[in-house]
Structure 1
Amino acid sequence: MMTSQAANYAKVLFSLGLKEEAVQQVKQIFLRNHELIEALDNPIIKEKEKEAVIDRIFENDIRSFLKVLCKNQCISILDKILEAYETLVLDSKNIITAKLSYVTRPDEAELGQIKDMLCDKYGKTGVILDLEEDDSLIGGYVLTVGDMEFDKSVRGTISEMKKALIRR
């Protein structure tokens, strides 16, 4: 769940105009070193020591941002900030992300139709489609775009039928 605090920090990070590669490098460093986030988030460690670590590890462009996160005790939400940042970058490129869960993988023509439909519906020029096999759907698919879910699965149909029967 995205917090407004993470979204606001992401906007600031985006406004810095850093190279995407630099931000991705930060993400990779933190993904490989969970202890680093724990250390930078630890209130017992002095701010000067945290800043020295940041200065040794990261490029000049991003250091100030990371230091502000440490000072405001927000480094623990860096993953959410980077997630929101990536959304802003894609939005600036007029690209939308979606997740397609399926039982039987659609062929390339069907995937193309889904992407075209999403571009038309959301007024975007591109789609990044995350594909995931999910046998629990029984059949069909579930397409998730942001908070919207389009459930065209057998499991979803059965669930809707149950709800309709209970309401009677």
Structure 2
Amino acid sequence: MSVFKVASRYAKSLIDLSKEHNNLDEIKGDMEEIVSIIKSSTELQAVLKNPIIKADKKLAILNALFQGKVKPEIIGFFQIMVRKGRAELVYATAQEFIAEYNEVKGIVKAEVTSAAPLSDDNLQALRTAIAQQINKEVILSNKVDKSLIGGFVVRVGDKQVDASINGKLAKLERHFAGQI
């Protein structure tokens, strides 16, 4: 079974557990912190993935990092995962938890790539327009790519709208290439 599928199943279990304890939002906040910490530490990622390092050592490291900083349910959940030999999935499970949370809450992540940074007003207007189109809350990030020349490219899930000058030039080039 793929890492994604297993991590997704663990994440769904933790979503169900946090719904039962009525602390879904708090667990999500803790998971964002966990993702941030693990993402920033390649050493921690290597330790969790290393099959030579014993489960007790991995548990001690996770406890030292997160005990008292995150909800006890998360610590207990990670302990179960490590004892089952799934420590390498802790990071992927935390990421999947956030994705599952967003789906449960009707939140969609979108990215706008522009030739120059967009103003807060422009980002807010774009966020509002996207939210009205898809009828969901939108978390919008802005990425800069000077090769676009001007305009922007918006990605929401697997959909993309290319309103960049570079994209229009490429489309025009393909059109003329088909004419010859």
TM over 0.5: yes
Kindly state the Cα deviation for residue 160 of structure 1 after the two structures are TM-superposed.
Answer: 1.9
Paired position in structure 1 for 2:74: 62
For each residue in 1:62-115, what CA deviation from the matched residue of structure 2 results, as whole angstroms up to 9, or x when unmatched?
A: 223223443555444444433332222233333322111112444444333322
Alignment of 1:57-96 (within 5 A): 57-59=65-67, 60-71=72-83, 73-96=85-108
Match among 137, 143, 153 for residue 164 of structure 2: 153
Question: Any runs of at least 4 consecutive aligned residues in structure 1 with deviations exceeding 6 A, and if so which?
Answer: none
- Please state if 1:133 is matched with 2:134: no
Task: Return the letter of the residue paired with 2:129.
Answer: M
Task: Return the letter of the residue paired with 1:31.
Answer: K
Paired position in structure 2 for 1:23: 31
- Please state if 1:48 is matched with 2:42: no
Aligned Cα RMSD in Å? 2.7
Kindly state the Cα deviation for residue 136 of structure 1 after the two structures are TM-superposed.
Answer: 0.7
Q: Secondary structure at the match of 1:139?
A: coil
Is the CA contact 2:15–2:100 (under 8 Å) kept in the aligned structure 1? yes
Task: Return the letter of the residue paired with 2:134.
Answer: Y
Measure, in 2, the Cα distance between the counterparts of 1:53 and 1:111.
40
Alignment of 1:103-122 (within 5 A): 103-122=115-134
Is the CA contact 1:41–1:70 (under 8 Å) kept in the aligned structure 2? no
Kindly state the Cα deviation for residue 156 of structure 1 after the two structures are TM-superposed.
Answer: 1.1
Measure, in 1, the Cα distance between the counterparts of 2:116 and 2:36.
32
TM-score, normalisation: structure 1? 0.79
Q: Which runs of 5+ in 1 are unaligned?
A: none
Task: Return the letter of the residue paired with 1:25.
Answer: E
Structure 1 residues 44 and 82, CA gap change in structure 2 (3 angstroms): same
Is the CA contact 2:151–2:163 (under 8 Å) kept in the aligned structure 1? yes
- Please state if 1:12 is matched with 2:18: no
Task: Return the letter of the residue paired with 1:16.
Answer: L
Structure 1 residues 136 and 121, CA gap change in structure 2 (3 angstroms): same
For each residue in 1:34-77, what CA deviation from the matched residue of structure 2 results, as whole angstroms up to 9, or x when unmatched?
A: 22232222111222333333344433322232234435554444
Is the CA contact 1:41–1:73 (under 8 Å) kept in the aligned structure 2? no
Aligned residues: 166
